[in-house]
Amino acid sequence: MAQGDVLRKLTAPAYFVAALLVILPVLDFLTNVWPLQPGQAVWRYGSAGLLSGFVLTPLLGVLVALALAAASEHARALGVLAVLSIVVAVGFVLVAGVFVLDALQVRASVPPQRRPQFEIGIWRAVVKYLVVSIALVWLGIAARRAARHARHRRREASRDAPPAVLS
């Protein structure tokens, strides 16, 4: 079996696994923060802190999907994943900013002896959001370039192909 045939047979299940790596942690997160209470600073702080612990697995799912799309030269999938990666990165930066503002509000209710742990938790979550955002932007830019390359290769292949003979 040729390498291209093996890749084609793995494409659908690999995209499925990549989707699971993104979707299941999101569902786990949502079940942990339900019912949604976005009007409360304490809930926003707690849910944003919790979300920071869920971001690496979906990042891995995006990486799997991008690697598969690049290997398969799926230009459309690369383009969609590039845009989604950058949009989610911007979203994570915004979440980090709101998280810091909510943490400042919640900090007043934290006992003084627990503040060092509280502040370490803030920085740990913010660093996770920012590092994952950098990774997503980097992946998004690379995916955009890979999409352009895949489209270019497809155009060259169709230009070099012998003309179809009508019978």
The three-state (H, E, C) secondary structure of 7-30, written as one string: HHHHHHHHHHHHHHHHHHHHHHHH
In this predicted structure, what is the pLDDT of residue 107? 94
- Using pLDDT thresholds of 50, 70 and 90, give the confidence band for residue 162: low
- Asked whether 85 and 139 are in contact (CB, 8 A), the reply is yes
- Residue 130 confidence (pLDDT) above 90: yes
Residue in this structure with the two tokens 């989604």, named with its chain if needed? 84
In tens, the pLDDT along 52-110 reads 999 999 999 999 999 999 999 999 999 999 999 999 999 999 999 999 999 999 999 99
Q: Where are the domains of the chain?
A: 3-160
Q: Who's near 61: CB < 8 A, 6+ residues apart? A: 17, 18, 19, 20, 21, 22
**How remote is the C-alpha of 24 from its chain's centroid?**
13
- Using pLDDT thresholds of 50, 70 and 90, give the confidence band for residue 158: confident
Rounded average pLDDT over 114-135: 97
Q: Who's near 58: CB < 8 A, 6+ residues apart? A: 21, 22, 25, 26
In this predicted structure, what is the pLDDT of residue 6? 77
Amino acid code (one letter) for 85: S
**How remote is the C-alpha of 92 from its chain's centroid?**
10
